[in-house]
A and B are shown apart, each in its own frame.
Chain A
Amino acid sequence: MAPHARKFGSLPPTGGAHVSLGRPGGDMTMPNRAPFIIRFFTAMPKTGWLGLSAFAALALVLLPALHLLVPEGNPLHVSGYVITVGGKIMCYAIVAVAMDLIWGYAGILSLGHGLFFALGGYCFGQYLMRQIGHDGAYHADLPDFMVFLDWKSLPWYWVGSDSFAFALIKVLVLPALVALIFGFFAFRSRIKGVYFSIITQALTFAAMLLFFRNETGFGGNNGFTDFKRILGYGITTPGMRVTLFGLSAVALMLTLLLGRYLTTSKFGRVLTAIRDAESRVMFIGYNPLHYKLAIWTLSAMLCGIAGALYVPQVGIINPGEMSAANSIEIAIWVAVGGRATLIGPVIGAAVVNLSKSFFTQAFPDYWLFFLGALFVAVTLWLPDGVVGLWRKLRGSKA
């Protein structure tokens, strides 16, 4: 990785050096700091706001209007397929930004982000399964696969799954909790580099095996599918489709704002310092554990949200989402777009997934060759991704 020249000059060490300020423990807050909400929105530069506004106009106004208001058959009509694919890619983009936060900025390569994505999806999927109600194949109280297994009542981890609010809480909390526990043990014993990557892959693999079992109670091989409605509204109606699309767009924009805020904050600068020279950061008095754990957990949480938005749009969640290949693909989206930039992962997720849809339809035999070559080519010749390439071509400072 090319060493990034960052200025650490303004970073105060933790400890007693700032007691003279007269505020014990206040060394992390400056006297005249603006409120969080202001800082959150002002971290984004003007060009960024311009891009976000354009994106908002497109995703929240133009495309929904063209889908809902323009009749089918009209050349301006945007089909449901486009809306679904667009929503799907925005979910992937959120995952990519989440991955970038820990890989691009903190230097931790996770090969297990598919797990958090799938966990979020499964949490929301539980709610969707309960919303099917009596419309399943067996017209029973329980989800079809439980009837099939001859279960008489819901297992304990399905309690409350018919509540929308509880589903949202689970989506936010469960992936984060798993990440927190795993991250605590991993970072505490200073597992890093390839060790950490492979351990995350093993974790995801184990989880996949667990979810493949029918007895685990998540539909085994088939996972959850055949959803009918959310909050009583039909899931395949154009209105619902556009709503989910819009929600994904909003979530993506908020993720980008959060990413910008974090990476320009002191917290973000400590993270990049940890990435570039962890021992030195420790020598000047920071404990990398807290920083790594915080960004790791946050990243998992973002993945969970993306998963929850993804499942109702594609209409299925199964353990395949946790396969090693899926998780590694997330890394390649980030690498293609450009690490340690926020727009890069979004571009990467879009480019790779659009070419995937193209290749798997046009040349199904060559997709793996292309993907494999992409992995090799990007790591060899495009270490900073397309964003880096563009910057280089424009001759501006990286």
Chain B
Amino acid sequence: MKHVLVALILACLTLCASAALDPLLVRQLAAEDSDEKIAAIEALAKSGDPEAVAILKQLDEGTLKDEQGEDITINNRVRGKIAEAMAALRLFDPDKGARLVAVKELLANIDPGMAPMLAKAREHEGEPSIKALLDQAYALATIRAADPAARLAAVKALATSGDANVRTLLLDYYWNKTAEPDLAIRRAAFASYLEVQQRIEIADLVGKVFSGLSLGSILLLAALGLAITYGVMGVINMAHGELLMIGAYATYAMQGLFRAHLPGYVDWYVLAAVPVAFFAAATVGILLERTVIRRLYGRPLETLLATWGLSLILIQAARVFFGAQNVEVANPTWMSGGIEVLPSIVLPLNRIVIIGFSLFVLSLVWVLMNKTRVGLFVRAVTQNRPMAGCVGVPTSRVDTLAFGLGAGIAGLGGVALSQIANVGPDMGQGYIVDSFLVVVVGGVGQLAGAVWAALGLGVIAKFLEGWTGAVIAKIAVLVFVIIFIQKRPQGIFALKGRFVEN
């Protein structure tokens, strides 16, 4: 019974004709006693042999058989050891990605016994980024080594970390006199702690500014269209959020179309969705303007109510056509994942793309407003409608165009939103107040104002969220806006000129 051999391994050994694995160790894996098994696993892990991975995997899955052809059973303790050993062995994997995953896995629970193996992996490693992580792991494994020089080196090496766990470890190390009697090493630990602390703070700051910018760019896409229509016509389109929703559903529809007919190009459905969403939302917007909003000219409060009614109809229509549940819009592969700026902070790619996209839309709108004849007309009507009419600007056509443009931009906002938020019939409801606040703070009819206001409010909201929680942050932003209007009723950038109220 005890006398066992692993048939599969033997087959493997003969096939590969490599005798690198110690057959005794493999045999020990089938030992009755868990401690013996674990000892064998640890020994295999230290060997750094790629073949050991295959054996351990079989052992883990329960497909490894002993000499008599019986399954070798293992318990959870052994299973845990196998996972660690496999991570350690994968440090020698020829694939870079696998090595990176392995070292990250190991960093989570390092123990001093791994030090020799990590040292070996460090020597073999050619990739600088992985080597840096291995240095960290080695430092963590040797921080309690008997040799003071090794401890000092470990403590110093940890200064390059950006991990919150390492930060607390270093601080504990500094305070714990019994565990570390050498004052110089403890001082070095404190110096490293300060460095790590600073790095974490910077990472935190970067993270907050980034998520603020990302929120701000969404706000900007939602508010740009509103700013144009409010500037030109003086009405708030309460269905603006639903135009975002139309853009998002257009993206969803394009995704479905690509999946069904162009499966090879699914990754590019987002690009195709951009014009589709723009024109879908613009068409609906122009339709709304022509049928309803135009007839309420000069009655802004009634327009508010009528457009609210339209938004209810659009929401219900979306429920009827697409169902009341949220639909699934997947990120294309080139937008998934993230860029790692620091070990503790990853900037998601989809948000980076959206920030870039909103900058792109912004520059398009800027060119349109400042370099084209249509833009000139729009600005003229914004500043003084009767005067513009007098000098021959076709104000009613400008209204329709501006409304279509504003709606189209909202559609583009919907494309962006579909990549980071849920797509459902109610998705647009929350945006009208936020985008209006952006318009109010930025100043009516001011592109630059809208940009500063959107990014500013986004960043402020994210910083407040960190301190007070999302709800209080929202209330604080609102209070801030109300106080702001007290001081600057015309927004950050007031139009210069003479105006008649009422």
* Residues of chain A at the chain B interface (Cβ within 8 Å): 1, 103, 107, 109, 111, 185-186, 188-191, 193-195, 197-199, 201-203, 205-206, 209-210, 212-213, 277-279, 324, 328, 331-332, 335, 365, 368-369, 371-376, 378-380, 383
Question: Which of the 9-residue segments B119-127, B181-189, B291-299, B362-370 touches chain A?
Answer: B291-299
Assembled-state Cα–Cα distance A186/B485 (Å): 9
B501 / chain A contacts, CB cutoff of 8 Å:
278-279
B305 touches A372 (CB 8 A): no
B475 touches A368 (CB 8 A): no
* In the complex, chain B residues 307-321 whose Cβ is within 8 Å of any chain A Cβ: 308-313, 315-317, 319-320
Residue in B306, B429, B471 whose CB lies within 8 Å of A380:
B306
B486 touches A189 (CB 8 A): yes
> Which residue of B is nearest A367, CB measured?
B316
Residue in B302, B433, B481, B482 whose CB lies within 8 Å of A205:
B433
A332 touches B305 (CB 8 A): yes
B306 / chain A contacts, CB cutoff of 8 Å:
375-376, 379-380
Residue in A1, A189, A206, A375 whose CB lies within 8 Å of B309:
A375
Residue in B308, B309, B320 whose CB lies within 8 Å of A373:
B309
Q: A194-B236, A194-B300, A198-B236 are in contact. Are A371 and B437 (CB under 8 A)?
A: no
Minimum CB–CB distance from B51 to chain A (whole Å) comes to: 56
Most buried by A among B305, B306, B319, B475: B305
B440 within 8 A of A: yes
B305 / chain A contacts, CB cutoff of 8 Å:
109, 328, 331-332, 335, 375, 378-379
A-B contact pairs, 29 of them (CB 8 A): A1-B301, A190-B489, A191-B489, A193-B300, A194-B234, A194-B301, A197-B236, A197-B301, A197-B304, A199-B440, A202-B436, A202-B437, A206-B475, A206-B478, A277-B502, A331-B305, A335-B305, A365-B316, A368-B312, A368-B315, A368-B316, A372-B309, A372-B311, A372-B316, A375-B305, A375-B308, A375-B310, A380-B292, A383-B302
> Which residue of A is nearest B308, CB measured?
A328
B81 within 8 A of A: no
B478 touches A372 (CB 8 A): no
> Which residue of B is nearest A198, CB measured?
B436
B471 touches A213 (CB 8 A): yes
A383 / chain B contacts, CB cutoff of 8 Å:
302
- Besides A193-B301, A202-B436, A374-B309, 10 new A-B residue pairs in contact (Cβ under 8 A), listed by A number: A191-B485, A203-B478, A206-B474, A210-B475, A365-B320, A372-B316, A373-B309, A375-B305, A375-B308, A378-B305
Assembled-state Cα–Cα distance A371/B309 (Å): 7
B398 within 8 A of A: no
> Which residue of A is nearest B320, CB measured?
A365
* In the complex, chain B residues 450-502 whose Cβ is within 8 Å of any chain A Cβ: 471, 474-475, 478, 481-483, 485-486, 489, 501-502
A379 touches B296 (CB 8 A): yes
B82 within 8 A of A: no
* Residues of chain B at the chain A interface (Cβ within 8 Å): 230, 234-236, 292, 295-296, 299-306, 308-313, 315-317, 319-320, 429, 432-433, 436-437, 440, 471, 474-475, 478, 481-483, 485-486, 489, 501-502
What are the 4 tightest A-B residue pairs by CB atom distance, in nearest-first order?
A: A375-B309, A372-B312, A372-B313, A368-B316
B311 / chain A contacts, CB cutoff of 8 Å:
372
Assembled-state Cα–Cα distance A368/B314 (Å): 9
Most buried by A among B313, B437, B440, B481: B313
A278 / chain B contacts, CB cutoff of 8 Å:
501-502
A380 touches B296 (CB 8 A): yes
Q: A373-B313, A375-B306 are in contact. Are A202 and B478 (CB under 8 A)?
A: yes
Assembled-state Cα–Cα distance A277/B501 (Å): 10
Assembled-state Cα–Cα distance A129/B304 (Å): 38
Most buried by A among B312, B319, B436, B481: B312
B300 / chain A contacts, CB cutoff of 8 Å:
193-194
> Which residue of B is nearest A193, CB measured?
B300
Minimum CB–CB distance from B431 to chain A (whole Å) comes to: 12
> Which residue of B is nearest A197, CB measured?
B304
Assembled-state Cα–Cα distance A198/B486 (Å): 16
Minimum CB–CB distance from A325 to chain B (whole Å) comes to: 8
Q: A194-B236, A369-B313 are in contact. Are A209 and B474 (CB under 8 A)?
A: yes
Assembled-state Cα–Cα distance A213/B234 (Å): 36
B316 touches A369 (CB 8 A): yes
A195 / chain B contacts, CB cutoff of 8 Å:
440, 485
Assembled-state Cα–Cα distance A194/B229 (Å): 13
A277 / chain B contacts, CB cutoff of 8 Å:
502
Assembled-state Cα–Cα distance A308/B315 (Å): 32
Residue in B312, B437, B486 whose CB lies within 8 Å of A185:
B486
Assembled-state Cα–Cα distance A378/B308 (Å): 12
B316 touches A194 (CB 8 A): no
Minimum CB–CB distance from B237 to chain A (whole Å) comes to: 10
A368 touches B313 (CB 8 A): yes
B489 / chain A contacts, CB cutoff of 8 Å:
189-191
A209 touches B486 (CB 8 A): no
B432 / chain A contacts, CB cutoff of 8 Å:
198
Minimum CB–CB distance from A53 to chain B (whole Å) comes to: 34
> Which residue of A is nearest B299, CB measured?
A1
B475 / chain A contacts, CB cutoff of 8 Å:
206, 209-210
Minimum CB–CB distance from A1 to chain B (whole Å) comes to: 6
Minimum CB–CB distance from A213 to chain B (whole Å) comes to: 6
A213 / chain B contacts, CB cutoff of 8 Å:
471
Q: A191-B485, A209-B471, A328-B308 are in contact. Are A109 and B301 (CB under 8 A)?
A: yes
Minimum CB–CB distance from B109 to chain A (whole Å) comes to: 34
A369 / chain B contacts, CB cutoff of 8 Å:
312-313, 316-317
B478 / chain A contacts, CB cutoff of 8 Å:
202-203, 206
Q: A206-B474, A373-B309 are in contact. Are A324 and B320 (CB under 8 A)?
A: no
Assembled-state Cα–Cα distance A205/B481 (Å): 14
A103 / chain B contacts, CB cutoff of 8 Å:
301
> Which residue of B is nearest A378, CB measured?
B305
A203 / chain B contacts, CB cutoff of 8 Å:
478
Assembled-state Cα–Cα distance A374/B308 (Å): 11
Minimum CB–CB distance from B71 to chain A (whole Å) comes to: 50
Assembled-state Cα–Cα distance A190/B490 (Å): 11
A375 / chain B contacts, CB cutoff of 8 Å:
305-306, 308-310, 312
Minimum CB–CB distance from A139 to chain B (whole Å) comes to: 32
A189 touches B485 (CB 8 A): yes
Assembled-state Cα–Cα distance A278/B501 (Å): 9
> Which residue of A is nearest B483, CB measured?
A185
Q: A194-B236, A209-B471, A376-B292 are in contact. Are A324 and B313 (CB under 8 A)?
A: no
Residue in B312, B436, B471, B482 whose CB lies within 8 Å of A210:
B471
